[in-house]
Amino acid sequence: MIAALRSVLRFRKFDPDPVRRRLARAASIEDLRVIARRRLPGGVFDYIDGAAEDERTAARNVSGFAEIEFRPRVLRDVSDIAVQASLFGRPLAFPLVLSPTGFTRIAAPEGELAVARAAERAGLPYTLSTLSTRSIEEVAAVAPAARKWFQVYVWRDRALVTEMLERAQAAGYEAIVITVDTAVLGRRERDVRRGFTLPPKVGLETLLDGIAHPRWSYDLVRSQPITFSNVKGKGVGDGTSAVSLADYINSQFDPGLSWRDIEWFRDRWKGPILLKGVATVEDALLAADAGVDAIALSNHGGRQLDGAPPPIELVAPVTDALGGRVPVLLDGGVRRGSDIAKALALGATACMAGRAYLYGLGAAGEAGVDFALDLLRDGFRRTMALLGVTSPAQLSADLVTRPDHPSEVRNTF
């Protein structure tokens, strides 16, 4: 009896590293989300996870991928698969770009520095937010070999925008990503209920939450104050006063931004310009006419206009209308490597992801970001093998369908 038990029982060797133990329990991005929710204070997790109003758009960003089914081909010899792609004439380890996320240090003390280093190791571009908590120069210093992009929110103070563009150019950033869907801030009701402020307050409102998450609280109080490092000393948001995010955005961002401003950016930036926040075929065509180098189909992760279309539903009609004039990226809802494959099959050049790596950062710091990117890369490779393709270029519309319109996938989105 004992011998029989010994033959079937296998106990996992204890790993003394708590981070590795934590990650060993994760099999998906959703698992990282669950771990991050447990480890982070409620208000911090809700800032990362939440979206506008009823959060229907945020949910549809994810569920939209589930509405698409694959049409896998077999007996195709997938013994040699290459997942590499290219964008702006430079290589991507696989077709993914790390989206900009503001206020990243609330998830882990290293914040953007951890994400940039992970992106460098993964061979992927990292997009630094204007509202980052580490500066343009700090990120450039820790990830010198990474492809670095700079996301631009357009301030009312155009001299400040010009200054940031000059700093990014001097620090070797490759491209700028102009976010165009924040004329005003969407109503993010989780933040309203939590009374979330910038910088975060540690007082009676958060005391119990802090006690319940002592590691996060300890890291917060022993770290430098969290500020918007790129605009530190320029007014609100520099750590000297606590305000709501909505008040900050609505007082600082320029609601007068229009198509004529693209030329203003072209005069001040000599590299690629990507427009992020396009949500219609009409605006995609206008963007191409305006001379941008790429567009990102995005609804800001559902954090702006609740009721906006999921980006996956826009890929086919937009790429059909553009006819290859500019690369099209999908930003929103990517949780698996198979999602990337679906987007590329419908015509996208690459995908962007933000929450996916933030869940990893919140779950396990820098190692969690590495883990999240590995999950997406491995899932993309596995999906390609199961579809019967050996390169991203072979992902085409005949490999996907919608059950309700099995032969018209490119005409029904």
Do the Cβ atoms of 65 and 339 come closer than 8 Å?
Answer: yes
C-alpha span between 22 and 364 (Å, rounded) = 7
> Is residue 300 among the annotated active site residues?
yes
Q: Whats the size of the chain, residue-wise?
A: 413
**No. of H helices and E strands in the chain?**
17, 14
Would you call the peptide bond into 199 cis, given omega within 30 degrees of 0 as the criterion? Answer: yes
The residues near 272 (Cβ < 8 Å, ≥ 6 apart) are 88, 174, 175, 176, 293, 294
Exposed, middle or buried, 246 (CB in 10 Å: 0-12/13-18/19+)?
Answer: middle
In one-letter notation, the amino acid at residue 398 is D
User: Of all helices (H) and strands (E), which one includes residue 92?
Assistant: strand 90-92
User: Of all helices (H) and strands (E), which one includes residue 264?
Assistant: helix 261-268
Do the Cβ atoms of 321 and 285 come closer than 8 Å?
Answer: yes
Question: Which tokens go with 9?
Answer: 């029982």
Do the Cβ atoms of 76 and 388 come closer than 8 Å?
Answer: yes
The residues near 178 (Cβ < 8 Å, ≥ 6 apart) are 151, 152, 154, 262, 265, 273, 274, 275, 276
Which phi and psi angles does 206 have, rounded to 5°?
-110, 0
Where are the alpha helices (H) located in 12-55, listed in sequence order?
18-24, 29-39, 42-49
∠ CA 370-151-345 to the nearest 5 degrees? 65
C-alpha span between 127 and 332 (Å, rounded) = 15
Question: Which tokens go with 131?
Answer: 């509202």
C-alpha span between 176 and 317 (Å, rounded) = 25
Query: Which among 300, 303, 377, 410 is annotated as catalytic?
Result: 300
In one-letter notation, the amino acid at residue 195 is G
Active site residues: 300
